[in-house]
Amino acid sequence: EPEVTQTPSHQVTQMGQEVILRCVPISNHLYFYWYRQILGQKVEFLVSFYNNEISEKSEIFDDQFSVERPDGSNFTLKIRSTKLEDSAMYFCASSGYTGELFFGEGSRLTVL
């Protein structure tokens, strides 16, 4: 069964460092998303991406965040200068025309 894969599963970084989280969506999907879940809190929408551009983003997705699809298969989330409050589980998701989102297992980011 096709699945969304995310790497790394866990990353520890120092505050102020840049982090890139990687996702390989399901191959025939066209819509891509990033969500995050701070420990003990709700899963929150960050951004959606379609046709090589951002289609929607939340207030959380400020200038420190960026996404790109560099090579037609990977979908990355970059955090330019991490803050303590960026510590969270980050979920990538993709969807096709049915609209059903398929989520990856998540990348846990710990900022020290």
Partner 1 sequence: AQSVTQPDIHITVSEGASLELRCNYSYGATPYLFWYVQSPGQGLQLLLKYFSGDTLVQGIKGFEAEFKRSQSSFNLRKPSVHWSDAAEYFCAVGIGGSQGNLIFGKGTKLSVKP
Query: Given the rule CB under 8 A, which residues bind partner 1?
Result: 4, 31, 33, 35, 41-45, 48, 50, 55-56, 58, 91, 93, 95, 99-106
- CB atoms closer than 10 angstroms to residue 33: 25
Rama region for 99: left / alpha / beta (φ>0; ψ in -120 to 50; rest)? left
* Residue 32 structure tokens: 């891509």
User: Least Å distance between CB 47 and partner 1?
Assistant: 9
User: Least Å distance between CB 81 and partner 1?
Assistant: 26
User: Least Å distance between CB 14 and partner 1?
Assistant: 26
